[in-house]
A and B are shown apart, each in its own frame.
Chain A
């Protein structure tokens, strides 16, 4: 589902964030991406989200070579991804419902489908009663769960998360990780960047580690 072939990323100014990364993930697989800050975790995720393009190497997602993807196709490509951000990127000028509905809205779903799917996603993260709230009124953990609901509402094939538990206490973190594992269980490929080594150890899933832009896959 995800395949990096000798991918390098050099930013303008010469900083090499990724060096010859090889990585393969099957559909329905879950993996943690760890490493010190600045090791290239975010860059790796950004390459998958096409927020950045690789300087060298090839990136195949779902069998499709991303380097052959035209600019105008990027938006459509992103509709197959779900992304959870560390700062959750919620919009405070609209309700929780409207935030989660955004991916469906841009894809042109029917109004009744949108309502059904948004409520299903809210139910999944346990926030069904917060539909009409403004995200600003929610706690950090609740905001993060709204972010997750938005990432999965359109049933993406790939779910990416960048430090999804960055600001949360251990119990909340564990709950959120359990959520991710649920999605993985229904066939979604899940890749989570985190520096929370303890949590990763407890999960017992595949771990790939970046060290100064070089990827090392640890044995399970």
Chain B
């Protein structure tokens, strides 16, 4: 309908709806469904245009993305390191063993009796018997002292029982200590070795590592917020006249904010992607060394978190930080630009 050519009755009717409804709906020639569609279209075009705008000043954009990527890669690399080590210590813990050494000259029937005694103890899950002969063979293979050992003539190694404690005892230091004490009381047993203490220490070190990651992560996340915020602030300043005009022709704050929010989102997404790529490259570089090291410790140790789920997490994190940083900047600066 042509607004200019309205009849008087329709003008009066329009005036009435004005008095009742909010002023915003006065000239509602745009239907609600069209509004939703146009809102969606506006989002898409904003996303596309702010992406294109990033390519206008590629060096500037690249530098901002790199700063974000570095700030994100550092805690990400720490997380990869800590969680890889955690996985490693977890593996070891599950195979936590108590080694029980018999007297070297214990007779086979004594050894058998001891084995039965230990097997009967409720704290023990599993008992593996290693005869002196088997121990010698393994030692010869692993240590390279084979020649020297063969010179000895007699086998100097005692029979050994490898005990797996019950699962609920593994993290219970006092329980394990008590178990060790009990075992040492049994006659015929020469010594008991519990290789748990250094694992406990490593646990604590890893816990500290986790806290360091959280601390570094928060600090650098704040850094990302500030970097994005500052970049967006500059973008807002450079488009000041445009913002003024848009506000004068009836653009809402949301409309004005949108392109800047998308810019922040893109910065964050790309920053997260580059950070992930950096950590992956670093991981590849370390991979061969890690593999050798893992072999030495007879472990299937590998760096965790470098898969595509990691990429997704980094992009979500980066996008969120970018969006937040941009939101901080637009919240502060766009309201201030009023015609």
Contact = CB atoms under 8 A, between A and B. Distances in A.
A177 interface: no
Given A91-B241, A106-B252, A108-B30, A62 B247 contact: no
B41 interface: yes
Contacts of A75: 247, 250-253, 255
A102 B41 contact: no
Nearest to A103: B249
A134 to B, nearest CB: 15
Contact of B245 (A64, A73, A102, A155): A102
Contacts of B39: 108
Contacts of A157: 3, 27
A89 B38 contact: no
A106 B250 contact: yes
A118 interface: no
B19 to A, nearest CB: 6
Nearest to B25: A76
B30 A109 contact: yes
Interface in B173-207: none
Interface string B236-263: 0000011011111111110100000000
A64 B250 contact: no
A81 B23 CA distance: 12
B6 interface: yes
Contacts of A62: 15, 18, 23, 26
Interface residues of A, number: 37
B246 A102 contact: yes
A75 B3 CA distance: 21
Interface string B1-32: 00111100001000100110011111100100
Contacts of A80: 23, 26-27
A186 B23 contact: no
By secondary structure, the A interface counts as loop
Interface in A84-105: 89, 91, 93, 102-103, 105
B4 A155 contact: yes
> Interface centre among B25, B249, B339, by most A CB within 10 Å?
B249
B242 A91 contact: yes
A76 B24 contact: yes
B23 A150 contact: no
A22 B193 CA distance: 100
Contact of A79 (B27, B41, B244): B27
Contacts of A129: none
A100 to B, nearest CB: 10
A106 B249 contact: yes
A210 to B, nearest CB: 21
Interface residues of B, number: 37
B117 interface: no
Contacts of A103: 249-250
B38 A109 contact: yes
Nearest to A75: B252
B218 to A, nearest CB: 34
Given A102-B246, A110-B38, A77 B251 contact: no
Contact of B251 (A72, A89, A106, A110): A106
Interface string A58-86: 00001110000100110111111101000
A49 B39 CA distance: 25
Nearest to B252: A75
A188 interface: yes
Contacts of A27: 11
Given A62-B26, A108-B38, A109-B30, A89 B248 contact: yes
B242 A107 contact: no
Nearest to A90: B245
A200 to B, nearest CB: 24
A64 B42 contact: no
B27 A93 contact: no
Interface string A153-196: 01111000000000000000000000000000011100000000
A189 B255 CA distance: 28
Closest 4 CB pairs of A and B: A76-B24, A186-B4, A108-B38, A79-B250
26 contacts: A49-B248, A49-B339, A51-B248, A62-B15, A62-B18, A64-B19, A73-B22, A73-B23, A75-B247, A75-B253, A76-B22, A77-B23, A79-B249, A79-B250, A81-B250, A89-B244, A102-B246, A106-B252, A107-B30, A109-B38, A110-B37, A155-B3, A155-B4, A186-B5, A187-B4, A187-B5
Interface of A: 27, 49, 51, 62-64, 69, 72-73, 75-81, 83, 89, 91, 93, 102-103, 105-111, 150, 154-157, 186-188
Given A108-B38, A188-B4, 20 more contacts: A49-B339, A63-B15, A63-B18, A64-B19, A72-B253, A75-B251, A75-B253, A75-B255, A76-B250, A78-B249, A80-B23, A102-B245, A102-B249, A106-B255, A108-B30, A108-B39, A109-B34, A110-B38, A156-B27, A186-B4
